[in-house]
Chains A and B, each alone.
Chain A
């Protein structure tokens, strides 16, 4: 079964840091571009960023909300994707989804269950 499982969410104080992990299974992780999408409570979806695959030199792209505080990385040997967020703000409070891009088109075809990050003092 194709699956993405996020971990590492929780309550963090403003100004703190957090690292989310996403463990992939059921498919060849190294072949795929992988992304993070977030959703603030009661709000819509926001693309956070992506990590391309080895064939594309593991390059990364980020959405406007990243503003230099977000770092996406991956470890193909562990079938894992990571999102590190520094200088957390209250507006970073959201469910963070790990998502897969399929190899035949541009879309998000597999989603994790999400990890809730709450930024509050």
Chain B
């Protein structure tokens, strides 16, 4: 069975810290990997598409990298408004699976 493994499941960092979230696919998904941010009580928001493309209007402190089976989302300098849960999601084949999520908190 295909798996999308996201890590860590939660993290706590200080304002200004560099934060990295990883997503591992159990098989090659090329670059068909997106990242979403979900704040409490809100709908998710697209941050990164096709592994490394920044969605319009998303701050440049967010970046994505990777291809094949290993992907990362990086926040270069964590801001208080970045408190949220982050999800990866693939579009390589059906069904379009999401990772389990990473909850980011401020230390």
**Are B101 and A108 in touch, CB under 8 angstroms?**
no
**Are B55 and A109 in touch, CB under 8 angstroms?**
yes
**Are A106 and B43 in touch, CB under 8 angstroms?**
no
Partner of A47 from B49, B55, B97 at Cβ < 8 Å: B97
**Are B44 and A44 in touch, CB under 8 angstroms?**
no
Q: In the complex, how many residue pairs between chain A and chain B have their CB atoms under 8 Å apart? A: 56
Q: Which residues of A contact B95 (CB under 8 A)?
A: 47, 61-64
Q: Which residues of A contact B101 (CB under 8 A)?
A: 44-45
Q: Does A105 interact with chain B (Cβ within 8 Å)?
A: yes
**Are B96 and A47 in touch, CB under 8 angstroms?**
yes
Q: Scan A22-52; emit 1 where CB is below 8 A from any B CB, else 0.
A: 0000000000000001000000111100000
Total number of A residues with any Cβ neighbor in B under 8 Å:
20
Question: Do A97 and B43 contact each other (CB < 8 Å), given the known contacts A44-B87, A107-B49?
Answer: yes
Q: Does B46 interact with chain A (Cβ within 8 Å)?
A: yes
Q: Does B36 interact with chain A (Cβ within 8 Å)?
A: yes
**Are A106 and B91 in touch, CB under 8 angstroms?**
yes
Question: Do A61 and B34 contact each other (CB < 8 Å), given the known contacts A45-B89, A108-B44, A113-B43?
Answer: no
**Are A108 and B87 in touch, CB under 8 angstroms?**
no
Q: Roughly how many angstroms separate A62 CA and B95 CA in the complex, as a whole number?
A: 7
Instruction: State the Cβ distance, A108 to closest chain B Cβ, in Å.
Output: 6
**Are A105 and B50 in touch, CB under 8 angstroms?**
yes
Q: Roughly how many angstroms separate A100 CA and B27 CA in the complex, as a whole number?
A: 26
Partner of A107 from B34, B87, B97, B100 at Cβ < 8 Å: B34
Question: Do A45 and B34 contact each other (CB < 8 Å), given the known contacts A108-B44, A113-B43?
Answer: no
**Are B32 and A106 in touch, CB under 8 angstroms?**
yes
Q: Does A9 interact with chain B (Cβ within 8 Å)?
A: no
In the complex, residue of chain B having the shortest beta-carbon distance to the beta carbon of A4: B43
**Are B98 and A46 in touch, CB under 8 angstroms?**
yes
Q: Which of B69-85 contact A (CB under 8 A)?
A: none
Complex A-B: 12 CB contacts under 8 Å: A44-B101, A45-B87, A47-B95, A64-B95, A97-B43, A97-B44, A105-B49, A106-B91, A107-B46, A108-B46, A108-B89, A109-B55
